[in-house]
Structure formats: structure tokens, C-alpha cells
Amino acid sequence: MDLFTEIQDRLETKKFLKTAQTFHDGYISNGNWFYFNSASFETDDGIIFVKTNYEDIALDMLNGEFSSLQKIAETQTICTPKPYFVIADPNSNGGALIVEYLNMQPVTNWKKLGSNLADLHLFNSVLGRKKLRLESWIGKPLTSQLPENIEFTINKNIKLNIPCDIIEKVDHVEEFGFYSTTCCGKIPQNNEWHDNWIEFYARNRLKQQVDLVIENFGNRKIIEYWSELQLKIDKFFIDVIDNIEPALLHGDLWSGNVTQIVNGDPVIFDPASFYGHSEYELSISKLFGGFSSIFYDEYFNKIPQQKGFKKRSELYTLFHLLNHWNHFGGSYANQSIDLMKKITSYVFNIN
């Protein structure tokens, strides 16, 4: 039995016809093409989207994406394809992720994307406050006693509503990390939980990428700059450390992972989620084409920039450049070294 027969059986559908649309998502890693082959299929219940990969790491990647889509969908703050299941290929180490099919179009509604992404980032914080509010009831309130929504004021102009049924179903997260391994490209991320964001970012994100660069390329400059930077990372967060709460992140939100559907609702896909500092999300959004300024205006209307934002943004950008160096080499080596040198010099000037 092949993988697609397994998928058809799992769906319990007689009709399973590949549509004319085929999608290829691939990149070069150490000289080899690394592919996700994706296609849509007509079934008895409509069209579904199937994303396949046959690399040894495929199931880690697909399961991480499945969990990420699940968690984003739970918030009901921003549109993302509904994940159905992951299935292993019986004839290899590969597998497939089956999700809702969405008719995607280029993004034009940047304002709504900025607003919805801010809501996603605020969700966990607001959820925690609302759970405390419900817990303040004497005894468990009856469903009939609960309002349909509980409103939380973000600032004088912005309010976020979360339906009470979501408050009861979704867990509030108090640490930084994620429930499963997720992959940024083909590199598995260490999502072990930490109660300290600076420690999580330094150890579970930057150090992992630096160690891979040293292992793969043995670059002396990276060793030199990292030995200085790793001891001073906390200084980038002096002004905000008490205000950083775990936010559910997409994790790889560049312009190739955003789109919208026919009704104008923005869609985010191909996530590598974890709970982290909301500012982290924006660093890659400015690379590889970037987002419209309208997006940032709307986002910062809900989550205003904090003191030191620009320097922290460069610290977060360093992760993505190192990640691309580990995947592609080439020009990303110089970009990574130059940025690390620059932000290391910043550290000595922060009081």
C-alpha cells in the first residue's frame, strides 16, 4: 500500500482525485534539493490539501507544523488552514500532512493582517487574565451566567474579546517553549520549556545555530563574537524584561508564509510555532521582501514598540541569518558575521 492509498483510507473517501493544482516548496541545503511536494485532492467531502515529504526528518517537521496549526487555530484570532492529521509513509521515513484547502491569493489586506497578528500575540496574555476573572467567581459559574464574550481593554482604543467557550477549553501558558519539536527549515528547534525568555532565546535559539555554524563551517569570527555576545544578551532586555509574557508565535513569518482568501481574510501558514517574545516574530517579516508599512502601523497600534525595540530586532534577526547560513552558506555568512559584530558593539554601550 502506498502513502496516498493510506490517506484515502484514513479519509474514508471513495473519491480521491488530484486536482490540476500542484505546489512545490523546496530549497537547496548543502547542495541538495529539499522538497515538500504539495497538491490538492477532490474527495467525497470537498477539496483537501496534502503536503508530503520523504526525508528522514519529515515526520518531525510535519508533526511540528500540525501542532502549530492546531494551537493557532484554537485562538480564533487569525485564519490558518485547519489541520486534519499527519500520516506516515509505509514505504519510507517520510509522510504527509493533510489540511484544509484554502483558495489563496496575494495579500492586499495588510491592515487586517497586522491587527490579527497582534491579536494572536496578545491572546495568551489576555487569556490568563480572563481565566483569573472567571476563577474569582464564588463556585463554578453556570453556563447561563457567563457572557458570550469577556472583553479585555488593551489600551484606550483597542479591546480584545475572547469567547467564554475558548477560555474554558484553551490552556494559559506561563513559560517559553512549545509542546513538541518544530523545525525552522530542516533544523529541529529545541522547544524545551523555560520560565526565562532571555535564557530560552540564548540557549534554545541562538546557541543552537551558532554551534551548528561552528560544527559545519568552523568560523573563527563567529566563535570570537559569540563568546562576547552570549554573556551580554540580557542587556538588550533591561527596559522590558518585566513585561515579556509568553506569546504564541507563528515562528517563521516571512512574506512567503502569508496570503489571504477570497473574502479578504489574511492567512498564515507553514508555521514553526512556540511561545516567545512577540517582538521576535517581526524580525523575519522585514527580510526577503518584507511586509507593507500598513501592517506595522496596525500591529503597533495594538502592541506599541517598547524602548530598545530596534536593537532587540537586530538580535532576533541574527537567529534567522544564522539559520540561513546553516541551510545555504554563501552570502549569509558575511551577513551573519557583520550583524553579530554590530550588535556585540551595541552591548558595550547599553547602560
Q: List all residues 6 or more positions away from 51 whose beta carbon is below 8 Å from its beta carbon.
A: 25, 36, 37, 38, 62, 65, 96, 97, 98, 99
C-alpha dihedral sign at 215, 221, 224, 230: negative
Distance CA(73)–CA(80), nearest Å, equals: 6
What single letter denotes the amino acid at residue 101?
A: Y
- At 155, list the grid cell: 489600551
* Catalytic-residue membership of 25: no
195: Cα separation from own chain's centroid: 19
Residue 137 DSSP label: S
- Residues 126 and 153 sit within 8 Å (Cβ to Cβ): no
Q: Grid coordinates standing for 342?
A: 554590530
What Å distances lie between residue 281 and 251, 271, 342, CA to CA?
Answer: 6, 11, 21
Catalytic pick from 171, 195, 234, 252? 252
Instruction: List the grid coordinates of 100.
Output: 484544509
> Residue 269's closest CA among 65, 9, 127, 67?
65
- Nine cell digits for residue 174: 506561563
Q: Residue 123 carries which side chain, given as an amino acid letter?
A: F
Please identify every residue annotated as catalytic. 252
